[in-house]
Structure 1
Amino acid sequence: MDESVQTEAVPEGGVAASDARVQQLAEPVEVTPITAEEGERIEAPNAAAADGSAGSTTTNNTVINNSTTTNNTVVNNTTVNQQAPLPPGVEVVDRVGNRDILSIVGAGAVGALAGGAAAYFIRGNDDDRIAVDAQERYYDRLRGDRTRETVVRPNGVQVVTITNRYGDVVRRSRIMPDGSEVVLFYDPYQDDERQDDYYYSDVGADLPPLDLRIPREDYIVDVTDPDEELYYRTIVAPPVETVDRIYSLNEVRRSERVRDKVRRIDLSTINFNFGSAEITQEEVGDLRALADAIARVIAENPDETFLIEGHTDAVGSERANLALSDRRADGVATALTQYFDVPPENLVTQGYGEQDLKVDTQAENRENRRVTVRRITPLVKPVNTAQR
């Protein structure tokens, strides 16, 4: 990629045009309206009630540690609800709140070793954040065992999310009161068997090493004082290398190499206490600069998607750290919405535990207990389909 593309300032309102110079798709992607497909109205799946309260629906049977229960999974002598069927070789090994910690075993183990996918990963769930203050919430079953969830807000805005047969989010749009659609992210392979692949392998494993043409401090912003202008410039800047295909949200979540295509903000203004996901009132104030920068971008382009990543230090078990890091990411996303009115549907979260240490130490380290923010829009949708 020409270095000037990475270094040229993005003018106000020019984010999509800047992204389009970098997103050079090998195959065109046509995004159809998210409500076009007719479905069959169903009861709330995955233990979520249509009114937003917790339900008791359970599906699927799984055997772990030679124990089986009907419509439930036994993990370490704890009974948990199985949210959805999983691909062969993938099992739930723990459940924390409304999130599953998954492991690749059996048939999937070979693929994991070959492709570099993490042995453990936590599957995010943003249902509660999206449905806050919902006036109505309903579900439709679509072909291919997909589910479409519609959250209706009092102002008439609808947030529509489609999950695949495994319960993974594959697309999301915001429908405005006038019927116009804002496409937030879109998986072009949602009807394809390739949707299984991200469980077993890293889709970025075959990409060449990143050829960074800009100063590292412009690529990874890490400042101790909140700086709205710096955050804004970092957020609107284009990917640092060509994007030749659209990635599913899960592919982005699971591939560090793919995420490295876009710049990031290491939010050093928030460093959590050991074992805690709590954000102090002082740190909430420090989020204002980031919230204002994100809000400026969304005001220009309502279709933007931001990934908030949670991290821990290396003390503790891998699974416990995954759960803790995911709570940290979710806590920051919740705070951005609750205190600063950032639309929750523009934010997705993922915990990475101790997988990406900022400081290479196995000891307690406050700098490793952090959150990272990236604008992933040009990775997860064609940039010319902001509204239809």
Structure 2
Amino acid sequence: MSAEIQEAPVPTGEISASDARVQQLSEPVAVPSITAEQGERIDAPATTSSQTTINDNSTTNNSTTTNNTTVNNTTVVQETRTDLPPGAEVVERVGDRDILSIVGAGVAGAVVGGAAAYFIRGNDDDRIAVDADERYYERLSGGRTRQTVVRPNGTQVVTITNRYGDVIQRSRILPDGREVVLFYDPYQDGAERPDYYYDPAADLEPVVLTIPEDQYIVDVAEPDEQLYYRTIVAPPVETVERIYSVDEVRRSERIRDKVRRIDLNTINFAFGSAAIEQGEVDDLQALADAIARVIKENPAETFLVEGHTDAVGSEIANLALSDRRAEAVASALSEYFDIPPENLITQGYGEQHLKVNTQAANAENRRVTLRRITALVKPVAPSAKR
């Protein structure tokens, strides 16, 4: 993607137009209303309970489960699961988080051209439903489930998951009935959808940057709202050739590489902890203000909050810890700075993407990263073949 497009200022209110110069879809994508299909009310899906404490000096993860064996608050799943994506199996459950093993990927590392051997699949239902007046579920065709969260002001946040629990669509419905589409997977019913072991970006060449690396990865020691804002509103660094599902973005490092990232060096997690110190919450103000500006310009923006650990400890334990770190930052942004939780997606990557290549304890590796992924997960403007 040319440096001219990459470095062009994004005028206020023109974020989608800027993204549309990079999102070059082969055919138009029409997004159906998330409430178009009649659903059948059902009880809430069975889950475990989990509580993560942030903004103090400790983190708790108190879980209750109905599985067979629990050791050190980690549940080994022994029953056969029928709701799993093709090519995946649950090896452990930590709180309400499933640790998936990619069948055929081995017990460590990654397969060539494929996804990591282990992947954690969390659940953001409770985070989105904080302070809700009502939450209910409906069964849709094809094994899909629709969750509706109703807020005191009448706003509804509606999310659809497929038969495997992958999120495929989310919208915010305003009290006047207007629908704001946050993300949508147009290929959700495609029989050609690859299994979890396959990286949907495996055929893409490595990213070629036409901008300085410090504009691609923002890594500063002091909060800087203007820098955060410029980074967030900038378009992807290469062509977005199709819409990806949120879960494809979560699983594929190569897809995430299409957009810029902010490393939050102002949040320093203690070893083995997902707690945000009280003093560090204030350091999120600049980032929160930048995100709020973007959402005010375009309420349909989606951000990915990524959690990471150092390499000390087991791969599975680090996945769970990193996911809690991502969730802690997302929760803090909503609780203290009123960032709508539905605009934030979280994902933990454990020790998979070390910032500092060391197997020793390292504070720089215990971090959280933020990216704006809107142009990856929904059509940003009417699209036609170009």
Query: Is TM > 0.5 for Structure 1 vs Structure 2?
Result: yes
Residue 113 of structure 1, CA deviation: 2.8
CA distance in 2 between partners of 1:84 and 1:331 (Å): 30
CA distance in 1 between partners of 2:246 and 2:80 (Å): 21
Distance change in 2, residues 1:296/1:28 (3 Å): same
The alignment partner of 1:279 has SS state of coil
The alignment partner of 2:347 has SS state of strand
Does structure 1 residue 376 correspond to structure 2 residue 373? yes
Does structure 1 residue 104 correspond to structure 2 residue 86? no
Residue 11 of structure 1, CA deviation: 1.1
CA distance in 1 between partners of 2:364 and 2:80 (Å): 35
The alignment partner of 1:294 has SS state of helix
Is the helix fraction higher in 1 or 2? Answer: 1
Residue ranges of structure 1 left out of the alignment (5+ in a row): 55-70
Residue 211 of structure 1, CA deviation: 0.8
CA distance in 2 between partners of 1:248 and 1:353 (Å): 21
Residue 39 of structure 1, CA deviation: 1.4
* Pairs within 5 Å for 1:1-388: 1-47=1-47, 72=67, 78=75, 85-105=83-103, 113-195=111-193, 197-384=194-381
CA distance in 2 between partners of 1:83 and 1:300 (Å): 43
Count of equivalent residues: 362
CA distance in 1 between partners of 2:366 and 2:95 (Å): 20
Distance change in 2, residues 1:82/1:234 (3 Å): farther
Which amino acid in 2 is paired with 1:119?
A
Which amino acid in 1 is paired with 2:42?
I
Residue 384 of structure 1, CA deviation: 2.2
Q: Which moved more, 1:186-195 or 1:266-275?
A: 186-195
Distance change in 2, residues 1:78/1:288 (3 Å): closer
Which amino acid in 2 is paired with 1:230?
L
- Percent identical across equivalent pairs? 73
Which amino acid in 2 is paired with 1:36?
A
Distance change in 2, residues 1:105/1:296 (3 Å): same
Distance change in 2, residues 1:105/1:142 (3 Å): same
After TM superposition, which residue ranges in structure 1, 4 or more long, deviate above 3 angstroms?
Answer: 71-84, 106-109
Structure possessing the higher relative contact order (Cα contacts under 8 Å, 6 or more residues apart): 2
Which amino acid in 2 is paired with 1:164?
N
Which amino acid in 1 is paired with 2:24?
Q
RMSD: 2.1
Q: Which moved more, 1:71-80 or 1:346-355?
A: 71-80
When normalised by structure 1's length, the TM-score is 0.89
Do the aligned partners of 1:198 and 1:254 also contact (CA within 8 Å) in 2? no
Which amino acid in 2 is paired with 1:284?
V
Aligned counterpart, 2:59: none
The alignment partner of 2:26 has SS state of coil
When normalised by structure 2's length, the TM-score is 0.89
Do the aligned partners of 2:331 and 2:341 also contact (CA within 8 Å) in 1? yes
The alignment partner of 2:281 has SS state of helix
Do the aligned partners of 2:137 and 2:145 also contact (CA within 8 Å) in 1? yes
CA distance in 1 between partners of 2:82 and 2:305 (Å): 24
